[in-house]
Structures are given as structure tokens and as C-alpha cells.
Structure 1
Amino acid sequence: MSQSLTAQARALPMAIVTYLERSVSAKPASARQTFVENAVVVDDGKSYTGEAAIAAWLAGSAAEFEYTTTLLRTETDESATTVVNRIEGNFPGRSVDLSYRFELEPETGLIQNLTISI
């Protein structure tokens, strides 16, 4: 995501905004704080459950490639908020639009499920 948040991004729940900012920062593992303890992330067909697995996933995905993100759109329904980002970088294909489907825990507002797909 670009350095300055768009109005569309600022309208998202705080946990999502924070996750999007931190996941592309110099310290992506800090995005772990936006998840509940027993959260589940599904990315590239693999599931990561719990604090340690998600922290390792965050660290690993950031180290693999250099990339930038551009917010394309957001969608909200009764159970989730979906953010579609264009990812461009030094990975095979060089550009892809990824859908991030966030389900938040009602009590804390933190992420309980995140599914990333093309």
C-alpha cells in the first residue's frame, strides 16, 4: 500500500488498516498484533493457525520478494471485509491482483480469519 492512505483505506476497520500498513513495512512481523491469538490465515493454499505460525508466515512472505501494493477496491458484506490490492514486484509474473478477505472478531475488532486469493 502506498505511504499515504486513501480515503477508501481510512474507512476500513483499524485492524485491517494496521495489518495492510505493517505487512508491507520494514518490520512485517509487527502485523501479528492485528490478529486474535487463535487466528487462521489461508494463503497460497496453505493454512497458518495461531500466533507462532502466523508470525512465521508474515516474516517468510516479506523476505521472499520485494514488492509494492496499490489498493484497488474494498467490499463489505455481513461477515467480512475484502480488500483487493495490486501487488507488483520481482516475483514470477511481476504483477497480480490479490483479494484479502478479513473476518474480524466482534469483541476485539481484531482479525480472526484472513484468506488471501487471486
Structure 2
Amino acid sequence: MPLSLPKPIADYFAADTADGVAVAKCFSADAVVIDEKKTYRGRDAIAAWKSEASAKYDYVAEPMTVDAQGERICVTAHLTGNFPGSPVDLRYAFTLSGDAITRLEIIP
């Protein structure tokens, strides 16, 4: 049975298979992404972050669990691909505002 994810989060995982611009559209204009201890602010930086990751590695993220923790919605996803340490389960901690993601922290 597929997970029931809030629309912005479902859109993010669908766009993750596309490109950086598609991913960036899931975020508010002033959103923040924290990944591998680096911070990316705004759609342009988020698009560049995703484009760089996609150019380096081929991977698939499959959401496995979802858990609401106050304002944060944590999704555990199973990632497989050609990156060091594959496969791995990562936690995606999303903060939403309306139909947009305002913050995403990806945690090993």
C-alpha cells in the first residue's frame, strides 16, 4: 500500500526523478535545504544542489515511512544507486507552509 504523503512532499519525491528546476518548484522562494552539512537557500540554490547531485549520482529514493513530529513531517526513504554507501535509508525532515516546502533537512 503506497504511503499517503502531503502533496508538496509527494511532489518533491516525484520531481526528484526529474531535474533541479522541477525539485526547486516544490519549495517556497526563501526555502532552506540542509544536506551533507551544507545549507542551500532559495530556489536557485536548491535547483543547483539537486542538479549537481543528479549529475554525480544516479539514484532512486523510495519513501518507506512518514511520521508527523510537530511542525515537521519526517519521511524515511530507502535510496539505492551508484553513490558511496548504497543502499542507505535517509530521513527527510520537511517543514511545510501551504502547498510549498519551506525547509528540508536530509539526515543519515
- Correspondences of 1:42-53 after superposition (within 5 Å): 42-53=34-45
Runs of 4+ in 1 over 3 A off after TM superposition: none
1:56 and 1:89 mapped to 2: Cα distance? 20
- Runs of at least 5 residues in structure 2 that lack an aligned partner in the other structure: none
TM-score, length of structure 2 as denominator length: 0.92
Give the aligned partner of residue 3 of structure 1: none
For residues 71 and 19 of structure 1, what CA distance do their matches in structure 2 show? 11
TM-score scaled to structure 1, two decimals?
0.85
Aligned residues: 108
Per the alignment, residue 102 of structure 1 pairs with 94
Residue in structure 2 matching 1:41, options 33, 43, 58: 33
- Equivalent AA in structure 1 for residue 25 of structure 2: Q
Q: How does 1:52-63 map to 2 (within 5 A)?
A: 52-63=44-55
Percent identity of equivalent pairs: 31
Q: Which residue of 2 aligns with 1:7?
A: 2
In 1: Cα distance, 2:59 partner to 2:102 partner: 26
Q: Which has the higher strand share?
A: 2
Task: Mark the runs of 5 or more structure 1 residues left unpaired by the alignment.
Answer: 1-5
CA RMSD of aligned residues (A): 1.3
